[in-house]
Amino acid sequence: MGENDDSNIIEHHVEEEMEKSRSASPRCASPRSSTQSSHRLLAYSDALISIIATVMILPVAHTKVEDSEELRQSVQLLLTTKIAVYLMTFVIVTVAWAAHIRLFQVIVRIDDCLALLNLACMMLITFLPYTFSLMATFPENILGILLFCGCVMVMGIIQSVIVMYAFSRPFLLSEQIQISENRTYYKRHILKVIMRVPVMCFFASIFSFIFFQLSYVLLAVVIFLPYMSQCLKWCRSKAIGQVEETPDSMMFYSYLPNEPLSKERVEAFSDGVYAIVATLLILDICEDNVPDPAVVEKQFGGSLIAALQEYGPEYLAYFGSFATVGLLWFVHHSLFLQVTKATRFMGLMNTFSLAFVGGLPLAYQLTHEFPRNSRNELEAIQISCVIIFFAGIFQLAIWVVALYSERETLHPYVWYGGREHVLMLAKLSLYPCVALGTFFLTCILTKFSASIFHLMEITVPVAFLVLRLLVRVGLALLRLIFCPDRRDLRTMVEEEGDETSVSFNAVVT
């Protein structure tokens, strides 16, 4: 931490000195300490956005599912609506977050004015879930879509103001743009990219008066356009070989083509999601599972322990959910330690993984709501397994995608065939495998589904500890047998590692 602080301070001072030597304006007018590193603003924005993205799972979890067949239909409809709101919120908030990353890759320092403008932007983002709730509850009414478009348009205007402000004070911009000669070209280009979505929303809001289904389609296209175009490009490049990228097409979705998603911000956003998901259940437990003193007196003869035993499954659900989320975070953490650069596609896989992680508290809450051995309980357990499976499999997908271009995205010692590669793969595949196994076991042994599920919950944390030992023992055995051969390989990898460390030093100094 200390080193980090110091490096920030140094950076600040260096920046100031550069400013001093560069700026043509008289010393009196140039703001001295009002220019700030944007680090904390971005951390706060990440925290806000991740909470907003995830918190919409709570209305889903709070929907009471009755065990009777009559009510089921209407409850299922309500549940579907709420899940749709959750997923829409998650995806769109993530898209807004990606836009925020791009913007603050161009603007690397902030001042008070930018901080306030960014807060206004955040306020509008946190209001988006409400517009989705309205859309989902009243799909025929255009008010929801109008509100959404209004929010997006105002956000576009605020972001344009941010860009114009930053370009009027070039010392706020990133080095690359600061020293470039065609700064006005950059400015116009960035404004064009930013205003694309609000203009489309403007048309969508006009269309909504004529034929509102069309405006939903329009919005969906606007939001997924970057991903779709990238998917198409990728497929094309796989089918007919590498296509020469024109700088224009590269510049269309990112301002700085050689800058991928900021790895640090992907980590901060993921941390926020994992943290809020891990704590959602304790909130419910504190609110609902403290028995009423009168009830304890009457029904349990004043014995608090007897009253609390009623809630046993809920505690188990809490610990199970916390452990699962914590361990998924642990896998994510291990994975991103080996990643040096997050590509856009890796970001997309990460988003999918996080969306499933967000569903975990819901799944765990469902598992204890139904009577033992009912059909609903089996379904709930199987849903949990499916959610865990997908959360894990998308984490594995990040790894697979990273391996495709391992020279750019991964540290040398986890490249394919490296020593740590095996351990990483084992960590990543543990949850998908276990979830899949549990799913099929519950299909066969339906009677013991709850016991199997709880056994899984308890064994997986142990498995993570044993996994390390197992892989270590395995590697030690291999080392004993193949030691002369492997030593050559290892020293080779070490040399490579030293080379990269040197080149990193060279880049910074």
Residues 288-317 that bind its own copies (CB under 8 A): 289-291, 293, 296, 304-305, 308
Closest CA to 394 of 434, 424, 429: 429
* Rounded CA separation 282/314 (Å): 10
CB of 87 to its own copies, least distance (A): 14
- Touching its own copies, residues 363-402 (CB under 8 A): none
CA distances from 86 to 62, 72, 219, 382 (A): 13, 20, 17, 21
Pick the closer one to its own copies by CB: 465 or 481: 465
CB of 478 to its own copies, least distance (A): 11
Closest CA to 219 of 148, 155, 156, 160: 148
Pick the closer one to its own copies by CB: 50 or 351: 50
- Touching its own copies, residues 75-104 (CB under 8 A): 85
- Touching its own copies, residues 53-72 (CB under 8 A): 55-56, 58-59, 62
- Touching its own copies, residues 137-196 (CB under 8 A): 137-138, 141, 143
Burial of 270-279, coded b for 16+ CB within 10 Å and e otherwise, reads bbbbbbbbbe
Pick the closer one to its own copies by CB: 50 or 442: 50
**Which listed residue (65, 84, 119, 441) binds its own copies by CB under 8 A?**
119
Q: Is 341:409 a contact under the CB 8 Å cutoff?
A: yes
CB of 240 to its own copies, least distance (A): 34
**Which listed residue (226, 319, 383, 386) binds its own copies by CB under 8 A?**
319
Stretch that binds its own copies, among 36-44, 206-214, 241-249, 376-384 (CB under 8 A): 36-44
**Which listed residue (90, 148, 186, 322) binds its own copies by CB under 8 A?**
322
HEC profile of 240-282:
HCCCCCCHHHHHCCCCCCCCCECHHHHHHHHHHHHHHHHHHHH
CB of 168 to its own copies, least distance (A): 16
* Rounded CA separation 5/158 (Å): 31
Q: Is 416:403 a contact under the CB 8 Å cutoff?
A: yes
Q: Let me know how many helices (H) and strands (E) the chain has, helices first.
A: 19, 2
CB of 420 to its own copies, least distance (A): 5
CB of 345 to its own copies, least distance (A): 19
Output the furthest CA–CA distance in the chain (Å, rounded). Answer: 82
**Which listed residue (115, 191, 400, 478) binds its own copies by CB under 8 A?**
115
Task: Give me the torsion for CA of 91, 100, 189, 161, rounded to 10°.
Answer: 120
**Which listed residue (30, 126, 160, 429) binds its own copies by CB under 8 A?**
126
* Rounded CA separation 115/124 (Å): 15
* Rounded CA separation 79/64 (Å): 9
CB of 440 to its own copies, least distance (A): 27
Size of the site for its own copies (CB under 8 A): 110
CB of 239 to its own copies, least distance (A): 34
* Rounded CA separation 39/109 (Å): 8
Please, which residues have CB within 8 angstroms of residue 85's CB and are 6 or more apart in sequence? Answer: 56, 59, 129, 132, 133, 135, 136
- Touching its own copies, residues 418-437 (CB under 8 A): 419-420
- Touching its own copies, residues 6-35 (CB under 8 A): 6-7, 9-11, 13-14, 16-17, 28, 32-34
**Which listed residue (192, 233, 236, 468) binds its own copies by CB under 8 A?**
468
CB of 471 to its own copies, least distance (A): 10
The burial of 428, by beta-carbon neighbours within 10 Å (0-12 exposed, 13-18 middle, 19 or more buried), is given as buried
**Which listed residue (130, 203, 216, 415) binds its own copies by CB under 8 A?**
130
- Touching its own copies, residues 438-467 (CB under 8 A): 461, 464-465
CB of 181 to its own copies, least distance (A): 22
194 φ/ψ angles, rounded to the nearest 5 degrees = -65, -40
* Rounded CA separation 171/162 (Å): 14
Pick the closer one to its own copies by CB: 179 or 232: 179
- Touching its own copies, residues 477-506 (CB under 8 A): 479, 483, 497, 500-501, 504-505
Pick the closer one to its own copies by CB: 293 or 312: 293
**Which listed residue (75, 84, 251, 323) binds its own copies by CB under 8 A?**
323
The burial of 452, by beta-carbon neighbours within 10 Å (0-12 exposed, 13-18 middle, 19 or more buried), is given as buried
Q: Is 48 in the site for its own copies (CB under 8 A)?
A: yes
Pick the closer one to its own copies by CB: 217 or 283: 283
**Which listed residue (88, 91, 162, 327) binds its own copies by CB under 8 A?**
327
